[in-house]
Each structure stands twice: as structure tokens, then as C-alpha cells.
Homo-oligomer: A and B are copies of this chain.
């Protein structure tokens, strides 16, 4: 298994939310602003299209030494040689994914309860995506909001790093970091902003402060 990935500012892509801008340019700008990891999520694309987009985005992430994570499709993650795989509770079971992914790919799992989080950790997840922390429109299937209280419980319950996802933005990122989260996963808070690089840089500033405060405690 790889070292734990840097979840501090984790960009999850959704082309529909990038205001019509090409995804490669959007990812490049987000990385310039300080994004530490990029997840490609393509629920509507065919596998061929997903593969093509993954290779294009990978040319950007590799150039900047930022890990690329593929959502759900382990075959595409393997085909492009992505650094990570992210799976949800209704995706391929983690043990099956781990057998295929081997030790060179890290695997993150979505969790929204302490129980799911502990189960994911026991099954060998390398990190957790916990959300939706706040109500959000980005993911139609995200269900009821987890809230800051339960996010804090989950962060306290597990040893693996947690990325807080769902409705996290510059206005609440500092509060989120106080829960012990290793970082935040952001879609529209970066992708839907008029200046992607500046939006990422602004979030990164808040997160760096939050991380320093975590270390200080």
C-alpha cells in the first residue's frame, strides 16, 4: 500500500459543474491554486469516453505530481495506471477491489456513519470520504447531510485520514478542519467558480491554517 494520500484539498470533478470549461484546463488551474489530489467521477460517460478523459487529465496530474483517483471504475483506474480508486458503498466491495488493485493503488471509500467508517477501515480502506457534511446540490445521490457533529465522531473513531465532502466551501472550511478531518473534497466550490485557480488558492490558505492549528493541539 502507498503512503496515505494528501487529502488536504481534494478536487472531485463533475464536468456538468465546470460551467462548460474543458476539464483538463479546469484541473490545471485548480492544481495551480493548490489542489493536492484529483478525483475523476464520470457516472454518465461510456467507459471509452471515461478512459479517454482519464488519460487527458492524467497528463496534467502527472506533470504536477498530483495523485489521480478514479471513481468506481477500477478497470479504468488499472488501465490508465491511476494512483487511487474511490468507491462508494454500492460499488465493488473493497476486498474484491483490493485483490485486483494490488499494493500500488490506494483505495478510498465513502462513508456517512461511524459504523461504515469503522467497517471501511477494517476492510483496509486507505482513506475515507465522509459526507455530505452540509446539504449540497452537487451529488444527487448523497442523501441526508452528515453534519459537523457526526463528521467529528467519525474522525475521532478512525485512524485513516478523512476527507470531508459535501457543501464545504471557503465559508465553512475552517470549521470543518476543527473536526480533525485531513482535508476537504470539493466539486462546485472550485469547479463552478469564475476563477478556479483563485478559488482553490483561497481554500488552500484556509486549510493550511486549519492543518497548522491541528498540529498545534
Contact = CB atoms under 8 A, between A and B. Distances in A.
Interface string A24-61: 00000000000000000000001111010000000000
A79 B75 CA distance: 10
Nearest to A73: B75
A142 interface: no
Interface residues of A, number: 23
Contacts of A66: none
A47 B92 contact: yes
Contact of A48 (B48, B49, B73, B90): B90
A161 to B, nearest CB: 24
A158 interface: no
A88 B51 CA distance: 14
Contact of A92 (B72, B79, B89): B79
Contact of A75 (B49, B74, B88): B74
A79 B91 contact: no
